Amino acid sequence: MNEGNSLSGVAPRLLVEAPDIAAEIARGVTRLFEDLGYAALREFPLRVRRRADIVALNAAGEMVIVEIKSSRADFRADQKWPDYREFCDRFFFAVAADFPREILPVECGLIVADRHGGAILREAPAMPLNGNRRRAQILQIALCASQRLARISETRISETGTG
């Protein structure tokens, strides 16, 4: 074996995974909406067999859906976002600061976020939900949040051996 190509004597390098940009954006968007008085859920299932990246609900019952886009390819490959508009009062895209914003539709709201927080750069136009759909959606959000909390509680109880 050629000594010049040998790995012996070379300290192993640790491979570091690139940060999950979508998860960091989601964290910042969730923090932003909490600051604005909303409760937010990630990966919320809609009745149209779609999953919204984030759904947020405020005390007045206003519902917001946020679709996270991590790259130009992600936006181009995923064109299901128009289906989400009938399940919210406002619809936003959330992206990282270096995302090419000019490719996003101007009729949607725009949030720029990172893991620490976010900022609304373009407000989403209001498209009020039908009252029956609002009621059903609020109930679905409550059930989803309750089930997730129960799973977390059960996991903690089984890990600590109490309860």
**Rounded average pLDDT over 119-146:** 94
Q: Quick one: pLDDT at residue 78? A: 84
User: Residue 120 has what DSSP assignment?
Assistant: E
**Is 66 among the domain residues?**
yes
CA nearest neighbour of 124 among 107, 109, 105: 109
The CA distance from 142 to 140, in Å, is 5
pLDDT in tens, 18-52: 459 999 999 999 999 999 999 999 999 998 788 99
Q: What is the dihedral of CA 120, 121, 123, 124, to 10 degrees?
A: -90
In the chain, the number of structural domains is 1
Whether 9 is in a domain gets the answer no
Residue 6 lies in a domain: no
Give the C-alpha separation, 46 to 141, whole Å.
10
**Contact at 8 Å (CB) between 107 and 149?**
no
Contact 64/55 with Cβ under 8 angstroms? yes
pLDDT for residue 160 is more than 70: no
Residue 99: both structure tokens together: 């995302």
Question: Range of 127's domain?
Answer: 18-160
* pLDDT value at 64 more than 80: yes
Residue 1 lies in a domain: no
The SS3 call for residue 124 is coil
CA 77 to chain centre: 17
Asked, for residue 2, whether it belongs to a domain, the answer is: no
Q: Does the pLDDT at position 155 exceed 60?
A: yes
